Amino acid sequence: MSEVHIEFRSGAYRDSVSLLEVSRAVAQTPGVEDAIIAMGTPLNVDLMRELGFVLDNPSPNDLIIAIRASDQATIATALSALAAEFVSMDDRAKAAGGGGEVAPPRSVGRSHGSNLALISVPGSGAFAEAMDAIESGQSVMIFSDNVAVWQEIALKDRAAEEDLLVMGPDCGTAVIGGVGLGFANIVRPGPVGIIAASGTGAQHVIALLDLAGVGISHCIGVGGRDLSREVMARSTMGAFDALAEDEQTEVIVLISKPSAPEVAKLVRERAKAIAKPVVFALLGEGSPDLTNATEEILRTIGVTQPIWRSWGDEGPMRAAGKYLRGLYSGGTICDEAMVIAAKELGTIYSNIPLRQEWDLDPFVPSKEHTFIDFGDDAMTVGRAHPMIDPTLRIERLRREIADPDCGVIILDVVLGHGADSDPATALAPAIKEAISKRKIPVIISLIGSSGDPQGLERQAKLLIEAGAYVTVSNAAAVRTALSLVRTGGAS
């Protein structure tokens, strides 16, 4: 029988990405079956309980150490490995702080000489840090999510008064002058300037442009709520001004998940006043998908559209059950998939539903056709983004495999800086399980540029070796899955 060690360390805060690395290192100890070292947020506690760890009622401020191993000696070895990881983490932090005579700044407002601050702290603290940066004359990129709407509006209004720009909150991707911030792909310089109320949507377009041999000038992320009725495109308007004046930018692209109609009208009117072509990729019924929008960009700048790559053989694939299940790490990629699928299938249940009546709690079993965005705010409290930590998505993938109604599974795999260094290897065992146990087709949209550190071709090879069908176009992936559900008995 396995031995279990559970320990609470009150007030011992560590960030989620660091704890993910520690968990992985401890899990590699020979004889360790499960190891999760995480803060005691409800999401993390639920995951631990699903893995069979019995917990009382920890506080979100508690660091929880949960280890299951073959014997007590192995647990002792794992705890020694844990201690060594924490020492190494602290040593790296001290080294990053510098050892010179000048002490590192204690706030972004004291970071003299910079004109852009990247804010990545828990959402409750992001407002104060961002306002501090703005007051000191810096534009900001707010990677943090779970920031209140009123705070976002206040930050953007204050920034506009100082002729500064707020990218975010929940801005996952930006590329400014060739420098990637957050989740960013390796890109070449070029004529396309991007404004994006979407991180993965921007990455998808950037990756497709790269595969067509086209680069970008800048990618200005504005946050997923910027085109909402509440925020009214405050940052988008500033980004239009910046790219209109930028000499390197020849064509401007606006990318967003479904936006409020009155806001879409507002930004279209603004675009008419710009003496540069503007391509719109505002997802929604009747609008072009991201692949179609990229093809329009290529036509606008006179570049021939390539044949979008795919790997694997779709011929032998057959739906194993009635329903389509989408498990996405990117919210806009999930939105795009649902827009395409709903046109043919009707109701698509989701935690980010296209219609309110299609809402589904992401922690309950799937219902008919279901698409889950694992990067949604509610699923990242106290946890690293699913592009970094695939644990929740892999757990859900295995639950879908066990559901006899699951017919086809769609996943996105997003490459680039900031993302998992080898996502295909992490997903491969579960994909093999889907194929071997139930012959469920697994369709993957692989989003990455030719220069990304994970290696586009290598990731594709690993995924098709696991049994998946892979394409660089998310829209093509969804249509392939729809054809399988249609012919495999979705009636």
For residue 326, give the CATH number of its domain.
Answer: 3.40.50.261
Residues 126 and 244 in one domain: yes
Residues 10 and 78 in one domain: yes
Final residue belonging to a domain, choices 275, 300, 325? 300
In a domain, 370, yes or no: yes
Final residue belonging to a domain, choices 282, 300, 318? 300
In a domain, 104, yes or no: no
What per-residue confidence (pLDDT) applies to 96?
61
Q: Specify the residue for token string 């996943």.
A: 411
Residues 322 and 369 in one domain: yes
Residue 405 in this model has a pLDDT that exceeds 50? yes
Q: Within the chain, how many helices (H) and strands (E) appear?
A: 14, 19
Residue 104 in this model has a pLDDT that exceeds 60? no
Residues 363 and 478 in one domain: yes
Q: How confident is residue 301, by pLDDT bands cut at 50, 70 and 90?
A: very high
Task: Report percent pLDDT > 90 for the chain.
Answer: 72
Closest by CA to 441, choosing from 326, 323, 320, is: 320
What per-residue confidence (pLDDT) applies to 304?
96
Q: How confident is residue 105, by pLDDT bands cut at 50, 70 and 90?
A: low
Final residue belonging to a domain, choices 94, 125, 142? 94
Task: Name the domain count of the chain.
Answer: 3
Q: Is 112 helix (H, G, I), strand (E, B) or coil?
A: coil
Which run of H or E residues covers position 480? helix 474-488
What per-residue confidence (pLDDT) applies to 490?
39
Residue 313 in this model has a pLDDT that exceeds 90? no
To the nearest 10°, the Cα dihedral for 216, 220, 223, 228? -90
Instruction: Extract the runs of DSSP E, i.e. beta strands, from 173-262.
Output: 173-176, 179-182, 189-197, 216-221, 251-256
What per-residue confidence (pLDDT) applies to 384?
84
What per-residue confidence (pLDDT) applies to 14?
81
What per-residue confidence (pLDDT) applies to 491?
37
Residues 481 and 367 in one domain: yes
Q: How confident is residue 415, by pLDDT bands cut at 50, 70 and 90?
A: very high
Residues 370 and 477 in one domain: yes
Residues 281 and 315 in one domain: no
In a domain, 102, yes or no: no
What per-residue confidence (pLDDT) applies to 113?
63
Which residue range is the domain that position 159 belongs to? 110-300
What per-residue confidence (pLDDT) applies to 316?
83
Closest by CA to 199, choosing from 261, 249, 258, 256, is: 256
In a domain, 390, yes or no: yes
Size of the chain in residues: 491
Residue 78 in this model has a pLDDT that exceeds 70? yes
Task: Report percent pLDDT > 70 for the chain.
Answer: 95
Distance CA 51, CA 34 (A): 8
In a domain, 192, yes or no: yes
Distance CA 168, CA 104 (A): 25
Distance CA 285, CA 264 (A): 13
What is the full DSSP assignment across 74-109? HHHHHHHHHHHHHHHHHHHHHHHH--SSSPPPSSGG
Q: Which residues does 374 contact at the CB level (< 8 Å), separation at least 6?
A: 327, 328, 329, 362, 386, 392, 393, 396
The average pLDDT across 48-58 equals 86
Through-space distance between the first and last CA atoms of the chain, rounded to whole angstroms:
46
What per-residue confidence (pLDDT) applies to 471?
98
Task: Read off the pLDDT of residues 138-182 as tens digits, 9 standing for 90 and up.
Answer: 999 998 888 999 999 999 999 999 999 999 998 989 999 889 999
CATH at 9: 3.30.70
**Which of 261-275, 326-340, 376-390 is predicted least confidently?**
376-390
Q: Specify the residue for token string 């990545």.
A: 120
Residues 202 and 260 in one domain: yes
8 Å CB contact between 277 and 300:
yes
In a domain, 336, yes or no: yes
Residues 443 and 402 in one domain: yes
Residues 211 and 282 in one domain: yes
The average pLDDT across 421-434 equals 95
Residue 87 in this model has a pLDDT that exceeds 80? yes
What per-residue confidence (pLDDT) applies to 165?
95
What per-residue confidence (pLDDT) applies to 97?
60
Q: How confident is residue 65, by pLDDT bands cut at 50, 70 and 90?
A: very high
In a domain, 99, yes or no: no
Instruction: Extract the runs of DSSP E, i.e. beta strands, from 120-168.
Output: 139-142, 166-167
Residue 106 in this model has a pLDDT that exceeds 60? no
Q: Which is higher by pLDDT, 198 or 474?
A: 474
pTM over 0.95: no
Q: Specify the residue for token string 């401020």.
A: 61
Residues 213 and 345 in one domain: no
Residues 324 and 285 in one domain: no
8 Å CB contact between 337 and 325:
no
Q: Which residues of 432-455 are buried (b: 16+ CB within 10 A; e: fewer)?
A: ebbbeebebbbbbbbbbbeebebb
Residue 109 in this model has a pLDDT that exceeds 70? no
In a domain, 257, yes or no: yes
